[in-house]
Chain A
Amino acid sequence: MIVLLFYIGLFGGAFLIVHLLRKGLQSRQDFTSLKTVTFGDESAVRADRAASIISVLVIFLIWAAFTGSKLIPLHVPGPFVGETQFTYTVENADGTTDDATVFIRVPPFGEDAEDFEVDPGTGFAKDDAFAAPTGRSSTILFDKNDDAKRKDGAKIIAINGNPIGPDEKVNVGDGSVSLTGKGAISFTPAQGLQMNPIWLPAPETVVARFFEIANEGYQNFSLWQHLGWSLLRVIAGFIAGAIVGIPLGYAMGLSGWFRGWFDPIVEFMRPVPPLALIPLVIIWFGIWETGKIVLLFLAALWIMTIAARAGVSGVNISKIHAAYSLGASKWQIMRHVIVPNSLPEIFTGARVAMGVCWGTVVAAELVAAQKGAGMMIIAASKFQLTDIVIMGIVLIGIIGYGIDILMRKAENVLVPWKGRS
């Protein structure tokens, strides 16, 4: 919730600052900037590059600020670390009262609390020394060293002079104190707003983990083997899907019998998410490579079939008529008109299919694998190695994005006429 408010604040703040800065340097006068009607004119809306850069920076800033990263000086308040104390008042069975102080040391996260001693002081309530773990509540058995025991009817009536009863809570500055149902003290150091590293490690931890795993590998395989195997499965599954799907799509686009025969199958299988097929694929093909590649094949197959069919159906009939009138044979029309005409659609399908395959392979590796990007993060999550999980997610995202960029570049080179007929 607080993170969201921060995010909205930074969004608005960055917008205002960038706009104020830009007012000074309105130099470019291209066609779009001279438009007076921009609200509602989609073509006048261009992605603001400054916003994109700031957006990425803001994510890292918030990540760093909420994890107490050493990379930036600004942090949200962290959990309490250091020494603190509070005083409790005990009432004995006979109605007499006495005060005693609890000295508390909270070590930084990840370090063990070391026991220490304090002078017990005077009266029937003795001072206590307590080493509390960070960020968690712990119970202080105050009467261990006191002369007045709880079993004899002694009970705490106030903390730092504030009255307290069972299941009530008193704030003591660096934390809060409450009484358990049995009358013992429960102390919780202040949590702060920072994330526990088990939930979200600092960015530098993730980067350090990346270099560590890049050098040493993880779970018997190097990082590149994990990622490489995932990619290899995607490519194998995608190529298999394309090899079967594209001719099938062509056949469906060119022959009524093929279309009639395969339409129900394709239309039925298309909306089934590949992940829903995992159990069946495992039963049929086992959990190892065959199973995964079959799954990716099925993920790519329907997409490629539909893309190829759409590519054939999309050919302008004038082009076919013109080619026949120019003396082309059926085979020549296939080779010189139908195939090139369907390439833009097939490329679009290939981009979608690669994206789906990449998502599916990670999910399949979550279920069962010895190597792969998905296996890496699911194995790390079992040991609460959140930094590896986050590193894996970032790498999966980068690779998926990279695949899409490569496909787009290939598209620009191979089918420059796309969308320009």
Chain B
Amino acid sequence: MPELDIIDLSMRFDLPNGTSVQALQDVTLSLKEGELVSVLGPSGCGKTTLLNIVAGFLAPTAGRVELNGHVVEGPDAERGMVFQKGALFEWMNVRENVEFGPRMKGMPKEERDKISDHLLEVVGLQDFKEKAVYELSGGMQQRVALARCLANEPDVILMDEPLGALDALTREKMQGLVLKLWKETGKTIILITHSVEEALLLGERLIVMAPRPGRIHKEYNLPFAERGVNADLRDVKKSEGFAETRDEILSMIWEMEEEIMGRTEQAT
């Protein structure tokens, strides 16, 4: 039973001028298998730091991350990453990108092809298998990134603003795809975003983080992701409770931002 536990995580950076920044303070979060958690917060609240620690790229100064009962100590194939952009390998075509993980494991070519054929069909790129990735549009590139991550069969998928660089229309389509993939594969997903709407649409649970020090401010359990699996996302946005929750979170984040601004104004 894969379960992700983030336990009392703290992160402190020392700056060259002698002061230090508390990027995270005592963050505790537990994810059950197949949960989709979106993390939202104003810039500088430590959400990317949190994701990098879970991915194993950063070591926390206190606390730990546990997956399936063992402590995370570095990057591993059990935790897949989807980045905002620029993480595809330009020297490989679409299929080779998707097959990268299985190939590194030494899986034979026929099996790899079966996986990539299936996944490229799922993300709707069956006609672009042999294309170079730099010939694809931004939305298609992110589809490749999703397929590449899934091909490796990770227990947890960590998404760092995966749709942040896309235009509004493509983004809407991709949100539907993320929900579909989540439901079909049953993966545990942490999704970082700074779009409130996206966090509401895609998160079964929504974590709002507050800055300085980065900490969990409020947690919501939301019905919209479940609704979005079977319905048009535009209808979900009109559905009961969506607008109210969105406004509540927006004003919460506004307040945080204003507090930061006020603090910096006092400081100067």
Residues of A whose CB lies within 8 Å of any CB of B are 316, 318-319, 321-329, 332, 336-337, 340-341, 343, 415-417, 420-421
Instruction: Give the contacting residue for B89; candidates A321, A340, A420; CB below 8 A.
Output: A340
- A–B complex contacts, Cβ < 8 Å, 14 sampled: A318-B84, A318-B87, A322-B145, A322-B148, A323-B100, A324-B57, A325-B158, A326-B77, A336-B89, A341-B89, A343-B91, A416-B132, A417-B90, A417-B134
Question: Within the assembled complex, what's the spacing in Å between the Cα atoms of A318 and B165?
Answer: 14
Residue pair A420, B79 in contact (C-beta under 8 Å)? no
Question: Does B55 have its Cβ within 8 Å of any Cβ on chain A?
Answer: yes
**Contact A321-B148, Cβ < 8 Å, known A326-B101, A326-B104, A416-B132:** no
Main SS at interface, chain B: loop
Write out, one digit per residue, whether chain B residues 129-173 have a CB within 8 A of any chain A CB (1) or not (0). Answer: 000101000000000010011001010001000000000000000
B100 x A319 contact (CB < 8 A): no
Contact status B87-A324, CB under 8 Å = no
- Say whether A336 contacts B76, CB under 8 Å: no
Which B residues are CB-close (under 8 A) to A329?
Answer: 104
A328 touches B104 (CB 8 A): yes
CB < 8 Å neighbour of B87 from A319, A328, A416: A319
Whether A420 contacts B104 by the Cβ 8 Å rule is no
Contact pick for B81, options A322, A332, A341, A415, CB 8 Å: A322
Q: Please, which residue of chain A has its CB at the minimum distance from the CB of B57?
A: A321
Contact present for B91 and A321 (CB under 8 Å): no
B152 engages A327 (CB within 8 Å)? yes
Consensus secondary structure, chain A interface:
helix
By beta carbon, the residue of chain A nearest B52 is A321
In the complex formed, the residue of B with least CB distance to A319 is B87
Interface contact B83-A322, CB-CB below 8 Å: yes
Residue in A318, A328, A336, A341 whose CB lies within 8 Å of B83:
A318
A421 to B88, CA, bound (A): 9
B18 within 8 A of A: no
Q: B81 touching A336 by the CB < 8 A rule?
A: no
Q: How far is the CB of B49 from chain A (nearest CB, A)?
A: 14
Q: B164 to chain A: closest CB distance in Å?
A: 13
Any A CB within 8 A of the CB of B46: no
A304 to B86, CA, bound (A): 26
Q: How far is the CA of A332 from the CA of B101 in the complex (A)?
A: 11
**Which chain B residues border A321 with CB–CB below 8 Å?**
55, 57, 75, 81, 83, 87
Tell me how many residue pairs across A and B have CB atoms closer than 8 Å. Answer: 75
Closest 7 CB pairs of A and B: A327-B77, A417-B90, A324-B75, A326-B101, A318-B87, A420-B134, A340-B91
User: Is the CB of B80 closer than 8 A to any CB of chain A?
Assistant: yes
Q: How far is the CA of A178 from the CA of B75 in the complex (A)?
A: 93
| Interface assignment of B105: CB less than 8 Å from any CB of chain A | yes
Q: Which residues of B contact A415 (CB under 8 A)?
A: 91
Contact A337 B89 (CB under 8 A): yes
Cα(A102)–Cα(B214), bound, Å: 107
What residues on A are CB-neighbors of B149 within 8 Å?
Answer: 325-326
| Nearest-CB residue, chain A, relative to B101 | A326
Closest to A325 in B: B81
Q: Given contacts A325-B80, A336-B89, could you give 5 more A-B pairs where the C-beta distance is less than 8 Å?
A: A321-B75, A324-B56, A325-B76, A326-B148, A341-B89
Contact A327 B101 (CB under 8 A): yes
Bound CA span A354–B148, Å: 39
Cα A337 to Cα B83 in complex, Å, equals 16
CB distance from A312 to the nearest CB of B (A): 15
Is A318 a contact of B86 with CB atoms below 8 Å? yes
Q: Which residues of A sit under 8 angstroms from B88, Cβ to Cβ?
A: 319
A364 vs B77: C-alpha distance when bound (angstroms): 55
Question: Do the beta carbons of B101 and A417 come within 8 Å of each other?
Answer: no
- Given the complex of chains A and B, what is the CA–CA distance between A294 and B132 in angstroms? 41
A335 shortest CB reach to chain B, Å? 10
A417 close to B91 (CB less than 8 A):
yes
CB of A410, distance to nearest CB on chain B (Å): 15
When C-beta atoms are compared, the residue in chain B nearest to A323 turns out to be B100
**Complex contact B134–A421 (CB within 8 A):** yes
With beta carbons under 8 angstroms apart, the residue of B84, B100, B134 that contacts A326 is: B100
**Residue in B91, B104, B152, B158 with the greatest tally of chain A CB atoms within 10 Å:** B91
Q: How far is the CB of B80 from chain A (nearest CB, A)?
A: 6
In the complex, residue of chain B having the shortest beta-carbon distance to the beta carbon of A328 = B104
Chain A nearest Cβ from B133, distance in angstroms: 8
CA distance A341 to B87 in the complex (A): 12
Considering only residues 86-136 of chain B, those with a C-beta below 8 Å from chain A are: 86-91, 100-101, 104-105, 132, 134
Note all chain A residues with C-beta closer than 8 A to B100.
323, 326, 328, 336
- The answer on a CB contact under 8 Å between B86 and A316 is yes
A316–B104 contact, CB under 8 A?
no
Point out the residues of chain A lying under 8 angstroms from B105, CB to CB. Answer: 327
Known A336-B89, A421-B86: A325·B134 in contact at CB below 8 Å: no
* Interchain CA distance A337-B87 in the complex, whole Å: 11
Partner of B91, one of A318, A325, A326, A341: A341
Find the B residue at minimum CB distance from A340: B91
Q: Which of A322, A323, A326, A421 contacts B90 (CB 8 A)?
A: A421
For A420, give the chain B residue with the smallest CB separation.
Answer: B134
Cβ–Cβ < 8 Å partners of B56 in chain A: 324
Min CB gap B119→A, angstroms = 14
A318 cross-chain contacts in B, Cβ below 8 A:
83-87
Name the A residues within 8 Å of B134 (CB-CB): 417, 420-421
Which one, A325, A340, A416, A420, contacts B77 given CB within 8 A? A325
User: Bound complex: CA of A323 vs CA of B96, how far in Å?
Assistant: 13
B132 contacts across to A, CB distance below 8 A: 416-417
| A335–B104 CA distance with the chains assembled, in angstroms | 11
A332: chain B residues at CB < 8 Å are: 104
Q: Which residue of B lies closest to A343 (CB)?
A: B91
